[in-house]
Structure 1
Amino acid sequence: MHPKPSSRRLLLASLLPLLASGCVVVTDNTLSANGSGGKTIVIPAGLDRAYDDYHYAPAVRVGDTVIVSGIPAGGEGSYEEQVRRMFERARKTLEAAGAKLSDVVEINTFHAQARDSAAFNTEFERFLKVHKEYFPEGYPAWTAVGNTTLLAPGAVVEMRLVAVIGAGRSLRVKRPD
């Protein structure tokens, strides 16, 4: 006869897959292995400071809906490299919450290089080339806003997303007859 595992050991065993994924999920101030129930705060590896110091969640999951906070595109490299890193971080954040890029139903982008309409259109065309790599079909609803600055120093764009888990499995495009 084997002794019953302690509740602490069961909790640790249930959290191992999450820890291996490099993600912490907080639900109602407790750790959750599957993120079920209520509002679930998703904190991908390396983003603890966003939650602890700045008091915002990198992502929140409620039911099958995942809301990803603004992700800035900045740092080293070309404009396109910065934007690709932003999309990759978005992908990892969505995956940590159980969603995929194909599940994204809404995007809001804030473009910091929008001095005027002509500059905004030029920058937007550069952004669109990278966007097409990540959304080749089944485009989400999208609002693009021109700004003069963003909170993250040196960021050229910031992107916020909303996904519905499973939405990408079935795609229909409805056009007027």
Structure 2
Amino acid sequence: MRVLRLSIVGLHQITRNYSGMSGNQDYKSAKSIYDFTVKSIKGEDVPLTKYEGHVCLIVNVASKCGLTATNYKELNELYDKYAETKGLRILAFPCNQFNGQEPGGSDDICSFADRQKVKFDLFEKIDVNGDNAHPLWKYLKKEAGGTLGSFIKWNFTKFIVNKEGKVVERHGPTVEPSKLVSNLEKYF
């Protein structure tokens, strides 16, 4: 008879990884973004504890939106200006919920991102609204509701997260990344 021995720490890690893979993380009891695990665009689990101590800008992106060119360009510029010097991290989540403007799969999204010379972190395509919304996005919306309700209205909604993993600001799709410089600098 074999006995399986598992430490409490090991069990916690398995439980945390399992909940991250299942997408059923409890956003209501989360204390910060660090309570979530997401999937990279390559399908790898990424615990958001990776971003502890960094100011993060979290944004839903789409490759075929009228706002795409400006947002991708300016997100890259923010990354160039602040990633090394101030530790800014940009987390981009493709989403196809707005007029089908992110129709492709991971390979298509990666090809587009390569053509845009994206330097920031890209994650799997997700839903940001509805019953199937990713738990991280449910949490973001709970922490910073919008003007006309907490739902995400369009591509390129932006959340600023401080170094403690707390959502501190939400900005709508028409707020260009370059206009967030003074907002971000408050948290560095």
Under a length normalisation based on structure 2, what TM-score does the superposition of the two structures give?
0.29
> Which structure carries more relative contact order (alpha carbon 8 Å, separation 6+)?
2
Which protein is richer in strand relative to its size? 1
